[in-house]
Structure 1
Amino acid sequence: MYLGKADVNTYDKGAGREFLVSDGKGSYCFSTVIGANTRKAHGLLVKKPGPASAHQVLVSKLEETLFIAGKKYQLSTNRYKDLIYPDGFRYIQEYQASPIPSVLFVIHSALFKKSIFMPCGKGCTVVKYELLASPERVRLEVRPLMAHREVTCADLKRRDFSAEVSEGGVLVSGGDMKTRIFSTDGDWTSKPLWFDRVVYEQEEDCQGPVSEDLWSPGYLQLDMEEGNSVYVVLCSSSQGTMSKGEIGLLEKETLQAAQKLLASVPMEPKTSAVRDLLMASSHLVEDLPGEGTTVYSGYPSMRVTSRETFISLPGLMLSTGRHDGAVRVLDRWLKVTEENDWVVPSDMDGASLRFDGADGGLWLAYGAQKLYEAMENPDSVEGLWERVLKVIDRHRSPIDALDLRMDDRGLLFLDSDSPLRHWMNGQTEGEPVVRRRGYLVEFNSLWYNAIRFAEQLCELLGDQEKASSYAKLGDSCGTAFREVFWNKDGGYLYDWVDPSLPLDAAVRPNQILAISLPSSPLDPVMGRSVLDVCWNELYTTYGLRTLEPKHDKFKGRQEGRMDQRIKAKFRGMAWPWLLGHFITAYLKFNPNRLDIGWIFMRPFNAHMRHGCLGGVAEFFDGIMPYKPHGDVLYAPSLGEILRVLQEDLLNPMGVA
C-alpha cells in the first residue's frame, strides 16, 4: 500500500485513511495516516490489561515539531470544533504500509521519516524518527498526549494526571493506569499541558460530535543531523528501558515476522492487494496468554463472538494456511461449550459468557466442516470431531436457553421474538428493526448443512448406525425445508415462516446460504432461481442488501437520527460477507465464469485504499454513494473476501 501526495493533500483525504498495527497478544496501534485521531478507539498505544478487561487507550498520539533554520514546522494534525490545527498533513510526501507503516515529511530540502511498529508480544509501540536528508542540523520536539481510559468509555471528562520524569524517560499516572515513555536519545522536559476538545468525527454511534481533552506531561527534545535516528517507546509501567541496539533488533524481528507470514500463505499469486489483505487479517487473530487463539470481530468493536468467529475462520485462517491456529480457535470454543451442556455461547469476554444468539453452534459446525475439508489428515486431531458432533447432536434436543427446538420433520424452530437471537439484531425503543421468528431460513440452511456434515463425521468415526440416522434426518429436513420456505410465485425463499403469523414475502439475503453452503437442500432449478432473485434484487457493488429496494421500509443510506441509522443497518445496508456467499453460489452454477467472479471482487481494490488500509468495512450504503460504515476492519467481511479468493477464484475446485 503506497499513498502519494495527492492521496493525503487535504484533511478529509488523510483522515479518511486509517492504519492498524498489533502485537499479536491483544495490544494495538490504530490511527489515521496523517496522525489525526477521528475515533475514540484511535490511539498509538491501546492495551488489553487482562482477559476480562476492556482495551485501554493509554497514549492517544504524539505531537511532533521540527525547528529548521530558526523556523517552526508542526507535523501533527488535529481536528477541533471550529478548526484544523496544526495542519502538518501538508508536509506529507508519501505513506507506505510495507514493511511497516511509515510517513515521509518533506520540508524544503529536509526529508524526515516516521515509522511505527509493535514488537510481537511486547505490549508496546515503537515510533522511529529518521532524518534522511538535511543540509543542516534540525531540532525535534515530541510531545505525547495521554488519554488513560477504556476504548468504550462514554465519559470523556478530564482525569487527574501526574508524571515523574527520570533519566529513562517519563512515567505517567492517571485514571488508575500507568504508562512509561522513553527514548534512545534526547532530553525530557516537564511542561504539563492540556489539549482541549479534540474532536472525533467518525463516532457514528453517537448523536453529534464527540470531543476529548488530552493531557501531555511535557516533551522530548533532541538535535538531529542527516543520517540520525531515534526511537520513542510507549509501553506499560512494567516495561523497562531498552538500548537502541535492542530496539533495532526488535524492529528487525518485526519485519521478519511480516515476511514470514506472507511467505507461509498458500495463496498465489500474491498481488499487492492480496498482501494487504493478508497483513490486515493478522490483526484480527490474537494468541492471548492463558486464553488460546482468539478471532476478534473487527476494529474498533473488538468483540469475541461465535458467529463472527466461524463466519470468518475459513478465510482468515484456512485460506491463509493457519490450520493449527484454526484448531486452537475451535478447541477454545469447544472447551467452553462442553462446560455449558454443549450449547455454544454467542459472546465471550474473558470468563464472561452470553447466550443471546441462537446460531452460534450452527456457525461452529460450518467452521469445523471447513477445517475438516482443509486438513490432509483430519483424524489426526484426537477427540476434536467427537466434540463437534456433540454440538450438532445438541440441536436435536430442545435448547431452552436459546428458545430453539427441532420439530418432528427435522427443522429448527425459534420460539422467540427477540432480535438478539439472530444476526439481524437491531432494535429501537425496545422494538426489533426486523421481526423474525419461527423457521429462519439461514438457521435451517446451516442446520441442513450441519446434518450432512454430521453424517460424514459419523462415517469417519466408524459409527454407521448414527450415520444412517443423520442421513435419514437430512432427507426429512431437506423435504421440509423446501415445503416451508419455497415461494413458488416469486421463485425465492421466505426469510422466516411462523405458521401462526402471516407470511412475510420481503426479499432478504439470508436465503443465499441455502445455495452457498457445501450442502444445499434445494434442487438446481430452485437454487438458480434463488441466485437470480438475489442478483436482481439485492446485489450491490460491495455486498448484498439486507432488504429489497422496492420494499416500503427500505433505507438505502445510514444517515439521519440514531434510530434511523439503526433501522437502515438491516433494512437496506449492503454486507460484504453476504457477497462472499453470493459469489460462491454464482460460481457453483456458473463454474466457467471466473471472469464474472473477478468483476464482483475488483471494487474492493479501490475500497482498500480508503478507511482501514488493506481492510474491508462491516457494511456499506445500499445505494449511492455506497459509503462504508461500522467496523472499518470487519472479520467476516475480510474473511469472506479471502475465502472466495482462495476457494473459488485463485484455486477453483481445489486444483493445486
Structure 2
Amino acid sequence: MTRIGSPFDLSHLEDEWLEADGFGGFASGTAGMLRTRRYHALLLSATRAPGGRMVLVNGVEVWLEAHGQRFPLSMQRYGPDVIYPDLRGSLDSFDTVLWPTWRVRVDARTVAITEAFVSKATGATVLRWRLEGNGLGDLGVPVLKVRPLLSGRDYHALHHENPAFNFSAQISGDQSCVSWQPYGGLPVVGAATNGVYTHAPDWYRNFCYVREQERGLDYREDLATPGVFSFDIASGEAVMILSASSASSASGKSDTATSILIANDKTTAATHAAYLAQTEQQRRNALGSRLQRSADAYIVTRNEGRTMLAGFPWFTDWGRDTFIAMRGLLIASNRLDDAEAILLEWAGTLSEGMLPNRFPDYGDAPEYNSVDASLWFVVALHEYLATQHASAATRAHLQQAAEAILTGYTNGTRFNIAACADDGLLRCGVPGVQLTWMDAKVGDWVVTPRIGKPVEVQALWINALRIASAWNPQWQQPAERATLSFRQRFVDPATQALFDNVDVDHVPGTVDRAIRPNQVFAIGGLPFPLLEGAAARAVLGQVEAQLLTPLGLRSLAPSDPAYRGHYGGSPLERDGAYHQGTVWLWLIGPFVEAWLRVNGASAPNLAQARARFLAPLYAHLDCAGLDHLSEIADGDAPHTPAGTPFQAWSLGELLRVENLLARFERGGA
C-alpha cells in the first residue's frame, strides 16, 4: 500500500484514496485532506444499490482545544482558492497500509493521528483520532472537537445554502449518538461516538473543488453543520461511526448508528469501532496481494446477484468494462464464485442477442448501444469455463447465452449489427450512435463513429465463433470464413499493419487507415490470435513505434491531424480528445500479450516485459488514485493521468498480465 512522507511530499497533496462499501457507496478524498471533487465524501451511500448514490456527510472540521488555544487537524479549500486552516507544513505523513491514515504534527512533542475506513460488514464509515506524545499536557487537558459537514444531494450535483435544510437532531440520553435527516425522503444519517454532542447549527460556505473547475463544471458548494462533538482525547481514542439507515436496511446490513443509539452506552462506539477495525483488517489481509485488495472495491451487489463498477467515483456498471475487467479482477485472481454470479446476472439481461452497454444510475431501462459488450461476455465466459469451476447446469446456461448472442448477431439485431453474407465479417453502426469502446459523444456529435467493420470487433467476433465451436460445430465454418476474410481485407499493403475499419459507413471497399490501438486485438488480448509471423510483427511494430507510452497505448497516432495530446478543459474539449490520442492504461494488457506472442516468452523477454511495460504501472499505484490505476493519461509526455483515478479494467488488465507472466515463468502456456 501507499506511504507518503515523512516529511510529507507536497506533490502528493491531491492524490486520492478510496474506501468502497460493496453496494455502490464509498468514502474518498485526498492524501492532503482537501476535497477536490464533488464526489469526495466520508459517507456516500447507494440508496438503490449500486445506484441512487447520495452524498450525506461530505467531510469534517476537526481541531484540538487546550487551555484556550486551538490546534486545527483538518483543512478545507474555499473559493476562489484559499486553504484554511493550512496544515501543509504540519502534515507529517499519509499512508493506506491498512486504510487512510494521517499524521499531523501539533507541536514539537505531539502528533495527532486520524484514521478513516469503510466497514464492508456494516457499510459504515469509521473515523478514529488519537494523540501520540505529551506536549499538550503543558496547556491543560486537550479536547478534540469535530463538526460534521452535511449535504444530502445526488453525487453528481452540488449543494447550496437553503432554508429547507433540516438541522434538527435526534440525540441519545448521554449525547454520544445523534441522527439527522437533512431532507425528507433521504436516508437518516447516524453518528455513533464516544463523545458528547452539542447542537449548534451553522453553514460553511463557498467550498472550492478544483478538479471540477478544471473540468469546466460548477465547483462551489455550501455545507450544513448541525453541531459539534467533543471528545476527551487525553483519556483515549476518539471514535465516530457514520451510517445511513436506508442504505443499511436496503442492503440487509445492520444499522450501526441505530443499534448504538439503542444501547445508549458511551463505551459501545469505541468497542464497536475496534471490532469493526479488527474484522476489516482480517478481511483485507485474506484478499491477498495489494492488487487483489484494490480489485475488491469494484465488486458490488445488484439485485440478488453481483456486478462490477467500471470505476470510481462516477461510473456505474458497464457491460463492456465488466467483461474486460473481470478476467483479471476475478478469474485470474481465483474469485470464481463472484465471476459466475456476475456472468449469470448479466446473462439475464440478454435482448435480441445483445447485452447492455450499461445500467443507468437511476434504475431506468438498460442501454443496449454496444456492439462489443456481448462479444466480450463470450470471451469472459470462455476464460471462466476453462477453470472447470462451473457446474454442468451453469455451463449449459452460459453456453446457451453465448449461442443466443451469436445467433442474434448472425441474423441481425439493433443498429445494423449483422454478419455479412459476402465475407462473414460483422458489420455495425448507424449514424448518431457510438457502438464500439471508442464511444465519446457530445450532443449529436459522435467523435469516432467507426461505422462499418471495425478491426477489434472482427477479432472479437471471430474469437466468439471459435469459442462456441468448441461445443457446437455449427460455428466452425463461420469462424474459418471470417478469419480468411479478415486476413484478406484488413492488411494495409502500404504498411502491412491493419486498417482500423473497412467498408466505412457501409460503403464496400472503403478503408480507414488511422493508426489506432484496436488492431492489437488481432494478435493479443484475446484467446485466439488472428495473425502470426511477419503479419503479427508488422502490427506490433506499428503499435509499439507510434502508440506505446509508459502508461499504455495512445488511442491515435501523433502523426494524425486529428491527434489531441492533452485531455482536459470543458466537456466538449475532453470528449473530443478522449479517443483521439489520449492514452488508455487498460490497453497495456493486450499489448504485452501481443509482444510476448511475437517475441516469445523466454526468461529474458519476461524480465524485459516486467521492466519495460509493467514497472511504470506499479509506480503509478503510488500516485493519482492510490493503490489503483487511472482510466487514461495525456498522449503527450509527461503523460499526466486523467479521467477517473480508479478504473476497473486498468487494474484488471494488470492483474491478468501478471497472471499470464506467472504462468510463463512456471513453464505453462
Shared fold per TM-score greater than 0.5: yes
Quote the residue 2:520 is aligned against. 512
Secondary structure of 2:404's counterpart equals helix
TM-superposition CA deviations, 1:20-50 (whole Å, max 9, x none): 1122233211111222111111100110011
Is the alpha carbon distance of 1:589 and 1:652 closer, same or farther for their aligned partners in structure 2, counting shifts above 3 Å? farther
Shift of 1:139: 1.0
- State how far apart, in whole Å, the 1-side matches of 2:378 and 2:310 are: 18
Partner amino acid for 2:359?
M
Contact between 2:63 and 2:70, CA under 8 Å: does it hold in 1?
Answer: yes
TM-superposed CA distance for 1:432, in Å, is 1.9
1:472-502 per-residue CA deviation (whole Å, 9 max, x = no partner) reads: 1111010111122111211111111116274
Work out whether residues 207 and 222 of structure 2, in 8 Å CA contact, stay in contact via their aligned partners in 1. yes
Does 1:550 pair with 2:584? no
Higher mean displacement: 476-485 or 47-56? 47-56
Match of 2:264 in 1: none
Residues 377 and 427 of structure 1: CA distance in aligned 2, closer, same or farther (over 3 Å): closer
Q: How does 1:101-112 map to 2 (within 5 A)?
A: 101-108=100-107, 109-112=109-112
Cα 1:561–1:126, aligned 2, differ >3 Å: closer, same or farther? closer
SS at 2:580 equivalent: coil
Closer/same/farther in 2, CA of residues 253 and 569 from structure 1, 3 Å limit: same
Can you list the C-alpha shifts for 1:243-279, whole angstroms capped at 9, x where unaligned? Answer: 13233222211111111111xxxxxxxxxxxx33222
Relative distance call for 1:651 and 1:187 in structure 2 (3 A) is farther
Amino acid of the structure 1 residue aligned with 2:208: V
Query: Are 2:284 and 1:258 aligned?
Result: yes
Shift, 1:560, TM fit: 4.2
Aligned to 1:485: 490
CA contact (8 A) 1:51 1:291 kept: no
Q: 1:329 to 1:214 in 2, by over 3 A?
A: same
1:199 match: 208
Whether the aligned pair in 1 keeps the contact of 2:178 and 2:197 (CA below 8 Å) is yes
Do structure 1's residue 247 and structure 2's residue 273 form an aligned pair? yes
Distance 1:482 1:33 in 2: 51
Residue 505 of structure 1 and its aligned partner are, at CA, apart by 1.1
SS of 1:421's equivalent? coil
Distance 1:376 1:155, change over 3 A: closer
Task: Determine helix, strand or coil for the equivalent of 1:256.
Answer: helix
In structure 2, which of residues 317, 322, 328 is the aligned counterpart of residue 304 of structure 1? 317
Once the two structures are superposed, the pairs formed by residues 179-578 of structure 1 within 5 Å of their partners are: 179-203=188-212, 206-207=215-216, 210-225=219-234, 228-237=236-245, 239=255, 240-242=258-260, 243=268, 244-262=270-288, 275-288=289-302, 290-337=303-350, 340-349=351-360, 350=363, 352-375=365-388, 379=392, 381-408=394-421, 409-456=423-470, 458=471, 466-467=472-473, 469-498=474-503, 500=507, 502-516=510-524, 517-578=526-587
Q: Per the alignment, in what secondary structure is the counterpart of residue 142 of structure 1?
A: strand
Match of 2:153 in 1: 149
* Cα pair 1:51 1:351 within 8 Å, conserved: no
Instruction: Assess if the C-alpha contact under 8 Å between 1:419 and 1:434 holds in 2.
Output: no
TM-score by length of 1: 0.91
What is the distance in 2 between the residues matched to 1:50 and 1:287? Answer: 10
Q: More displaced, 579-588 or 123-132? A: 123-132
CA contact (8 A) 1:9 1:90 kept: no
Q: CA 1:539–1:60 in structure 2 vs 1: closer, same or farther (change >3 Å)?
A: same
- Corresponding residue for residue 267 of structure 1: none
Aligned equivalent of 2:98: 99
Q: What amino acid is aligned across from residue 151 of structure 2 in structure 1?
A: A
Maintained 8 Å contact 2:501/2:512: yes
Spell out, residue by residue over 1:376-411, the C-alpha distance to the aligned partner (whole angstroms, 9 max, x if none).
Answer: 677474533432432343244334323200012321
1:481 is aligned with what amino acid?
F
Q: Which amino acid aligns with 2:112?
A: F
Count, aligned residues: 629
TM-score, structure 2 as length reference? 0.89
Q: Which string of whole-angstrom CA distances, capped at 9 and with x for unpartnered residues, describes residues 531-555 of structure 1?
A: 1110011111111111110111111
1:375–1:528 distance in 2 versus 1, CA, 3 Å = farther
Preserved contact between residue 361 and residue 391 of structure 1 (Cα < 8 Å): no
Partners of 2:215 and 2:52 in 1: CA distance: 20
Q: Check 1:9–1:596 CA distance in 2 against 1; reply closer, same or farther (3 A cut).
A: closer
1:362–1:450 Cα contact (<8 Å) kept: yes
Aligned AA for 1:504? D
Q: Which runs of 5+ in 1 are unaligned?
A: 263-274, 459-465
For structure 2, list consecutive stretches of 5 or more residues without a partner in the other structure.
247-254, 261-267
**Structure 2: distance between partners of 1:399 and 1:66:** 67
Contact 1:165 1:190 in 2 (8 A): no
Is the contact between residue 177 and residue 193 of structure 2 (CA under 8 Å) also seen in structure 1?
no
Superposed CA offset, 1:562-581 (max 9, x none): 42221111110010111111
Report the counterpart of residue 41 of structure 1 in structure 2: 39
Q: Does 1:594 align with 2:598?
A: no
Q: Would you say 1:172 and 2:184 are equivalent positions?
A: no
Match of 1:612 among 625, 628, 652: 625
Q: CA deviation at 1:448?
A: 0.6
| Counterparts of 1:428 and 1:105, CA distance in 2 | 44
Distance 2:365 2:449 in 1: 28
Task: Report deviation, 1:633.
Answer: 0.5
CA contact (8 A) 1:28 1:45 kept: yes
In structure 2, C-alpha distance between the alignment counterparts of 1:30 and 1:326, rounded to whole Å: 26
- Partners of 1:375 and 1:175 lie apart in 2 by 50
What is residue 50 of structure 1 aligned with on the other side? 48
Residue 234 of structure 1 and its aligned partner are, at CA, apart by 0.9
| Identity in percent | 25
The 5 A counterparts of 1:109-124 are 109-124=109-124
| Offset from partner CA, 1:432-472 (integer Å, 9 cap, x none) | 2123111111111001111111111x1xxxxxxx41x2221
RMSD of the TM alignment (CA)? 2.3
2: distance between equivalents of 1:366 and 1:235?
39
Q: Is the 8 A contact 2:555 2:581 kept in 1?
A: yes
* Matched-pair contact (CA < 8 Å) for 1:616–1:634: yes
Q: Taking structure 1 as reference, are residues 650 and 58 closer, same or farther at Cα in structure 2, changes over 3 Å only?
A: farther
Secondary structure of the residue that 1:548 maps to in structure 2?
coil
